[in-house]
Structure 1
Amino acid sequence: MSTWSSADIHLHTTASDGLYSPRQVVEWAAERTDLSVIAITDHNTMDGALEAAEIARDLPIELVLGMEIDSVDGHVLALWVREPVPSGMSALKTVDAIHEQGGIAIAAHPFAPKWWAKHGLCRGDERVYDAVPFDAFEIHNATPLLFHANLRARAYVKRNPGRFAVTGGSDAHILSAIGATRTLFPGRTAADLRRAIEEKTTRVDNTLFWLTRNARYLAHMPSIVRRERARRHADGHTP
């Protein structure tokens, strides 16, 4: 029987709106979790991912270079990209740009509530999901208050069998949230994870729901929102 491992492929650092440095995030993931693979996916920058990749070389964990891109249709996770993908394009053009680099494109937190739209979250327009060739769909995001959005994402994937691999990510902005939701895959390496996404054999584990963790996350939310607003202002977006 194949060994299954876990990955958290949606993590943020101080390079965007996370509250901890790339070093703190990588060292926590390597020393305090059983994750085999992580991806740093800061908003519209790869600075955190590139810094984290150097740190991960000396630790028992593999790191995938990534970023979370603000498309006009919502956020898109880009994994295995070599250079930043510009923000502000349509989801279709964003995914095309990711694929041009040989990367993997994932619909991030689809169906997030419209009242979160001011923070740049996806509007949940199914016409976008129908038309754009995402490689995977994030069906569980561990951010508090996205329970209903996660259910809608799972339902959409079920209505579209065979189209997407499924992924789960913590969307962690604090250390204790890392690994709260995982993408499970056969094997142990980042190459194995990529193969599983391409072959649509991934699974999602969201069993690490801890009330105290979510309470702690909510307590930090004002700081996260302030950093997000500052980031968007620096990127030239309307606050």
Structure 2
Amino acid sequence: MFIDTHMHEMTYSKDSFLKLDEMVQIAKEKGLGAICITDHDSMGLKEYAEEYSGRTGFPVFVGIEFFSLQGDIVAFGIDEYPKERIPAQDFIDLVKAQGGVCFAAHPFRNNNRGLEENLRTVKGLDGLEVLNGSTSEEACRKAARYAIELGLFTLGSSDCHVPEKVGVCATYFPEEVRTMEEFLAAFKKGEMKPAHYADGAYRIIEVEKYEKGQVRVF
């Protein structure tokens, strides 16, 4: 199944223009099996998303995009998170202590919010976002190179804030996941792959070919 693993809903991400109902509607139209709400430094939508999923039957997993002192990290499977910026390593350690998973968001985006070379020094990251619908192709390919070098899982996501970006990139999970527990278990296996939406369907991207420029996405 395909899941958009990095999305912003307007209630707690003030730079977003998307409401959850609209996000789910577009996700279904594109063939996504679930979505992830990863608001900026907040998991405030968690209870509502759980109620929404129970009512509609469509999985909505709530994580967080935390702006550490070195850059943005997306995390899932946690209940506690800092209310102020802390070092990336401290945040990763906090996630791991709670049994969660985390990946570097848009690590080489040119807005000083990616981990960049800190990828080489932090310990405990599970993966890298190598396809980000709001980041340049050059920056995404560089992330792919680092993922291969560092042996990290690879993900794709839209990082959407507006309707036209919902689901433009996603992550393929080889098994069906309906609950957060299933999502975390599948994530930890590391068998997911980035995918890109084009011509009405998702296409799985082989990272090695993408990094070498043999596959065009954007």
Fold match (TM-score > 0.5): yes
Partner residue in 1 for 2:6? 10
Partner residue in 1 for 2:193? 203
Residue 165 of structure 1: CA displacement? 1.4
Residue 131 of structure 1: CA displacement? 2.6
Indicate the percent of aligned positions where both proteins have the same amino acid: 24
AA of the residue aligned to 1:196: A
Matched residues in 2 for 1:92 and 1:209: separation? 40
Question: Does the Cα contact within 8 Å between 1:56 and 1:63 map onto a contact in 2?
Answer: yes
AA of the residue aligned to 2:131: H
Structure 2 residue 154 is matched with structure 1 residue 166: yes
* Runs of 4+ displaced beyond 6 Å: none
Matched residues in 2 for 1:165 and 1:35: separation? 20
Question: Does the Cα contact within 8 Å between 1:39 and 1:49 map onto a contact in 2?
Answer: no
Structure 2 residue 129 is matched with structure 1 residue 138: yes
Matched residues in 2 for 1:43 and 1:188: separation? 27
Structure 2 residue 101 is matched with structure 1 residue 109: no
Matched residues in 2 for 1:90 and 1:156: separation? 21
Partner residue in 1 for 2:77? 80
Residue 82 of structure 1: CA displacement? 2.2
Q: What's the TM-score, normalizing by structure 2?
A: 0.81
AA of the residue aligned to 2:19: S
Structure 2 residue 21 is matched with structure 1 residue 23: yes
Residue 61 of structure 1: CA displacement? 2.0
Structure 2 residue 114 is matched with structure 1 residue 122: yes
Matched residues in 2 for 1:123 and 1:197: separation? 21
In the superposition, relative to structure 1, how do residues 49 and 209 fare at CA in structure 2: closer, same or farther (>3 Å)?
farther
Residue 66 of structure 1: CA displacement? 0.4
Partner residue in 1 for 2:165? 177
Question: Which has the larger share of helix?
Answer: 1
Residue 207 of structure 1: CA displacement? 4.1
Residue 95 of structure 1: CA displacement? 0.7
Q: Which runs of 5+ in 2 are unaligned?
A: 201-218
Q: Which runs of 5+ in 1 are unaligned?
A: 211-239
Question: Does the Cα contact within 8 Å between 1:8 and 1:183 map onto a contact in 2?
Answer: yes
Partner residue in 2 for 1:156? 146
Question: Does the Cα contact within 8 Å between 2:96 and 2:124 map onto a contact in 1?
Answer: no
Partner residue in 1 for 2:216? none
Note the aligned Cα RMSD (angstroms): 2.1
Question: Does the Cα contact within 8 Å between 1:46 and 1:83 map onto a contact in 2?
Answer: no
Q: What's the TM-score, normalizing by structure 1?
A: 0.74
